[in-house]
Amino acid sequence: MMVGWLLSVFSAVFIISVFSLLLPEGKMTKFVKPFISIAVIIVIISPIADIRGFIDGTVFNDNKVIETDKDFLNKITISKIDQYCDNCVKIAEKNGIKGSTAIIEYNVDENGQPIVYGAEINIKNAVISGDGEHIVILQRLKKDISEYLRIDEKGVKINE
């Protein structure tokens, strides 16, 4: 974009210089030179018209609207969900459950952001240790995960 602008400025200055040299001296020069000056100014400040696209939110590149890369947004979403799963396993470990796995249930909104609505914690192959009863530990786990994910406790399923 910058190279194109510089090229147009140099081209305009060159053409106007040649035109000025070919223009005969006399009364006509007084009238033509202001128009030449205006043409140079327009070419120089033309990138300011492109800045308007950033102000009103529509950025154009070669007459095409720049869109977000859906694959990149998908990778970010998957990365967030993987982080949620890892943190759910860590929450289970803090509650005395080692070896659990987590699956996050989610949808993606119109902006590409994940909306978590459920979690499934698998403790079939896990070891539960701790002083409390297993039912109390599982209820506390359900509560902690629902608070972490900001979902209703009904959305947290524990597979034993």
User: Which domains are delineated in the chain?
Assistant: 2-65 (no CATH), 70-159 (3.30.300.30)
Question: pLDDT at residue 130 above 80?
Answer: no
Q: Which secondary-structure segment (H or E) carries 108?
A: strand 101-108
Q: Where are the alpha helices (DSSP H) in the chain?
A: 2-22, 27-56, 70-94, 134-149
- Check pLDDT > 60 for residue 86: yes
Please report the pLDDT score of residue 55 as a whole number.
47
pLDDT band for 142, please (50, 70, 90 cuts): very high
Nearest to 85 by CA among 119, 42, 43, 47: 119
Per-residue pLDDT tens over the stretch 33-73: 788 788 778 777 776 665 555 444 454 455 555 566 777 88
- 12-21, 56-65, 92-101, 102-111: least confident range: 56-65
Of 37 and 147, which is predicted with more confidence?
147
Residue 148's Cβ-count burial label (10 Å; 0-12, 13-18, 19+) is middle
